Chains A and B, each alone.
Chain A
Amino acid sequence: MGKTLFDKIWDAHVAHPVEGGMDVFYIDRHFIHEVTSPQAFDGLRQRNIPVFRPEKTIATADHNVPTRDQHLPIQEALSRFQVDKLTENCEAFGVRLYGLGHPYQGIVHVIGPELGLTQPGMTIVCGDSHTSTHGAFGCIAFGIGTSQVEQVLATQCLLQKKPKRMRITVEGVLPAGVLSKDIILYIISQLSASGGTGHFVEYAGSAIHSLSMEARMTICNMSIEMGARGGLIAPDEKAIEYVRGREFAPQGKAFEEAAARWRTLYSDEDAVFDTEYHFRAEDIEPMVTYGTNPGMGMGVSQSIPKPPSKGNAQTFMKSLDYMGFQPGQKLVGRAVNYVFIGSCTNSRIEDLRLAAAFVKGKKKANNVYAMIVPGSKQVEKQAKAEGLDQVFREAGFDFREPGCSACLGMNEDKVPKGEYCVSTSNRNFEGRQGPGARTILASPLTAAAAAVAGKIVDVRQGLQEAP
């Protein structure tokens, strides 16, 4: 029987099989950030052991950093303390750090791929659930807890049980105005926020392979939002070309050798998956969420569904109450006062280009505060080189410096209580963007359009009216 892509990578990384089904699983790349690492370093100190393979761990400061005046000392004392702690730990343990002010600093899942640190066939972990992003290159990449961060620092390995395999195939051609963010929000709305639990997902099909690498990252990024451990896509020539020439990618002959290996990374035709789903690209609309988990999404032209007859109607209504919505309502036309374009889901240069192309020559609505937070220093630099920052500023958007920002509201970038925010991030949980904040997840295009209109709009309509 053939092997799935997932099995090929997994099996190549079992350093030692343990009786009873666990594997000592070897990690090629370990990313760390300021929030989930300090307790792990303290653990090493208590045991008096070094970082086992310091060259395989890369650190950045992203979750807690301000997105203004990054050249100045961090104002907020606790955030500063955490970021300083990271610097101190990296120095003490010999770990490479791209901290504030470094040209490579940025959201951990944005910098890995852009620096060529993320390569096909790798195993990648980070103390952050959206590590699944790196799966776009054909990697087994998943989020871990702090105890596991400590384990990887200490041994470069984790004890892992092989998850089940799921394949989600999307065939066909995406309608105009529908982006990869819409694909993944659609999939999650169909499978629910727990539909992928226990599984690792391979995304396949013509609609997936037609996407750019950055668009693929958006899809893999949100795998965790349906409960899956991670998601991956078989590396094709597009993936290989994306990696070529990047700072930490193999160079010259070594690259060609690596690329030859990468070309063997696909699911064999007779490989069997534990679970399979099929979707058609033509069925997908621009998506918005109406509730407080990413599974509560719908096509923008649809109405909010009735409470489920099976399952917990109480939880459903609690969620709608929080959002201030009613079953049966449409969201198109609803005023929103905040727009956030950023996060590891949608803060790459293509996302910014897309939003800028829409915004160019327009002005944001008066009621809206709109914020663009590039995913990394490099994205910021590129955006400036292309004049995108200017486009945004002229349209009245706030163009910030890189970090996680309003995705999780750890720094001062928060959405006030009761306010609606159309956000390109990945979680619409209660209070995620600030206590009482109401998040509507959407694509960068839908977000940009909401900023200009001051309300939720169906971007397809604008596209049709355009000459």
Chain B
Amino acid sequence: MEKFKKLQSAAIPLPIEEVDTDQIIPARFLKATTREGFGDNLFRDWRYGADGSPRQDFILNNPIYGGQILVAGRNFGCGSSREHAAWALYDFGFRVVVSSFFADIFRGNALNNGLLPVQVSESFLAAIFSAIEADPKASFLVDLEAQLFTIQATGQSEGFDIDPYKKTCMLNGYDDIDFLLNMREKIEAFEQKNS
């Protein structure tokens, strides 16, 4: 997993609530057996028409907006457990997703793939959307060490929570699996005791 410490970037606004994993990556694109390439079909049915042509009204097709931060409405990532949703966002180039609320499995999947979920208050989320509305190129600073998200144009910032263990993983690029593999003896002892 890639390390994440700090990111300064513009952001892409998606002010829709309950964005589910079937929107992020529709099931019919889950047929690949590797982790790469899902970015092409990120938000497929919002991004492209039935004939495959880009939909001009969808934000990812608007060249004014860019950056590695996606800002979305509450309950982002609800629905299926498909990690492909996190892979697609990452593969497309996002490193941070901001919302006022994340679905549990999505949050876990994102963290396992170097995609940082930043949960902020409804009012701060609204402030971020306003900042982008005022200037599509507005820049934001995500500081994982300090657990702080800053709207640079106004200087407003808000702290965000992250599990301390997960924070260490993100900062150092560690996977859970490395940790668990080191626990093998403890796991075997547990099995012995319970057999």
- Most chain B Cβ neighbours within 10 Å, of A26, A35, A85, A159: A159
Nearest residue, chain B, Cβ from A228 = B104
Q: Residues 254-290 of chain A: 1 if any B CB is under 8 Å from the residue's CB, otherwise 0?
A: 0000000000000000000000000000000000000
- The contact string, 1 if C-beta is below 8 Å from chain A, for chain B 72-103, is 01110011111110100000000000000101
Q: Which residues in B have their C-beta under 8 angstroms from that of A293? A: 18, 20, 78
Residue ID in chain A nearest B168 by CB atoms? A20
A35-B30, A36-B81, A82-B33 given; A154·B181 CB < 8 A: yes
Give A124-152 as 1s and 0s: 1 = Cβ < 8 Å from B's Cβ atoms: 00011101000000000001111110110
Interface pair A157/B183, CB less than 8 Å apart = yes
Contacts of A410 in B (CB 8 A): 27-28, 30-31
CB pair A147–B112 under 8 Å, yes or no, is yes
Find chain A residues with CB under 8 A from B194 CB. 26
- In the complex, whether B163 has a CB less than 8 A from a CB of chain A is yes
Contact with B along A66-106 (1 / 0, CB 8 A): 00000000000011011001000000000000000000000
Look across to chain A and name the residue whose beta carbon is closest to the beta carbon of B164. Answer: A20
Q: Is the CB of B176 within 8 A of A81?
A: no
Please tell me which stretch of B59-67, B134-142, B151-159, B184-192 contacts chain A, meaning at least 4 of its Cβ atoms lie within 8 angstroms of it. B184-192
Q: Is A176 an interface residue when CB atoms closer than 8 A count as contact?
A: no
Query: Which residues of B are found within 8 Å of A78, using beta-carbon distances?
Result: 31-32
Category for how many chain B residues contact A: 35 or more
Chain B proximity of A195: nearest CB distance (Å): 10
Known: A20-B163, A78-B31, A436-B50. A155 touches B181 (CB 8 A): yes
- Please indicate the chain A residues that have their CB under 8 angstroms from the CB of B183 in the complex: 15-16, 24, 155, 157
**In the complex, which residues 322-369 of chain A have their Cβ closer than 8 Å to any Cβ of chain B?**
none
From B33, B75, B81, B180, A127 is in contact (CB under 8 Å) with B81
A85 near B17 with CB under 8 A, answer no
Residues of chain B within 8 A (CB-CB) of A212 are: none
Q: What count of chain A residues pass the 8 Å CB interface test?
A: 69
Q: Cβ of B18: which chain A residues have Cβ within 8 Å of it?
A: 193-194, 292-293, 315
Residues of A within 8 A of B113 (CB): 147
- Residue among B45, B74, B79 with max Cβ neighbours from chain A (10 Å): B79
Q: Are B180 and A85 interface neighbours, CB within 8 A?
A: no
Could you show 14 A-B contacts with beta carbons less than 8 Å apart?
A16-B183, A18-B165, A52-B184, A63-B27, A78-B32, A79-B31, A128-B81, A143-B105, A144-B108, A145-B81, A161-B163, A318-B16, A408-B22, A417-B50
Which A residues form the contact surface with B (CB < 8 A)? Answer: 15-16, 18, 20-22, 24, 26, 35-36, 38-39, 42-43, 47, 49, 52, 63-64, 78-79, 81-82, 85, 127-129, 131, 143-148, 150-151, 154-159, 161, 163, 193-194, 197-198, 224, 227, 229, 292-293, 311-312, 314-315, 318, 408-410, 417, 427, 429-432, 435-436
